Chains A and B, each alone.
Chain A
Amino acid sequence: MATVTKESLERTLQEKFEAKHVEVVDTSGGCGNSFEVVIVSSMFEGKSILQRHRLVNEACKLEIAQLHAFSQKNYTPSQWTNLQQKDKA
């Protein structure tokens, strides 16, 4: 099985969620076994946190099975815009 990389994970998330914004951070310290992701997609609209996580878990099933740790934050485009404005303020 191919190893998971920051790039491969970004590609998968981008494609499967038609994401407006994707951020993948390698938190493993180099071994490539641990990632934090932020996904902004309109596919999360009307879904609970648990449902959003389940969608991502399903989409990245093969990748997650290989990792030690996988952390995710999922936002709708409007939530993301609000967050960005808050950060600026």
Chain B
Amino acid sequence: LLCRNLSSELKKSIDEKVLKNDIVLFMKGTPNEPQCGFSRAVVQIFDAQGVDLRKIKAFNVLENEELRNGIKEYSNWPTVPQVYIKGEFVGGCDIMLNMHQSGELEDLLVKEGLIS
């Protein structure tokens, strides 16, 4: 039995979300009220980098079971949070933290014109 969480409809809707917004964050809770420490950490990293949090398009997977399961298949990434910048999958909390510490995240955000 083949079990697929990602319908073509959902894939299209995720494609649109990811391509239309500069920064997309799939998370548990909202940027103002994160529901998980990992999601909170990602929001805090963006904040520490000086990103205007209004630029982040966040989707709360706790409010949408279909999205919660589908996003994992879409990104081929098993956990939430997930970060996309300019249509490209960047990673989850560990990668964001690592890139924040190494300076790679700042370089990426500057390159994409998201901070100056």
The answer to whether A and B interact is yes
**Chain A interface (Cβ within 8 Å of chain B)?**
49-50, 53-54, 57, 61, 64-65, 69-73
Q: With an 8 A cutoff between CB atoms, is B79 at the interface?
A: yes
Q: Bin chain B's interface residue count.
A: 10 to 19
B contacts, CB < 8 Å to A: 38, 76-79, 89-95, 98-99
How many residue pairs bridge A and B at CB < 8 Å?
Answer: 31
Q: Which residues of A contact B76 (CB under 8 A)?
A: 54, 57
Q: Output the least CB separation between A73 and chain B (Å).
A: 7
Contacts of A49 in B (CB 8 A): 91, 95, 98-99
Q: Are A73 and B94 in contact (CB under 8 A)?
A: yes
Closest to A61 in B: B78
Residue numbers in A under 8 Å from B93 (CB-CB): 71
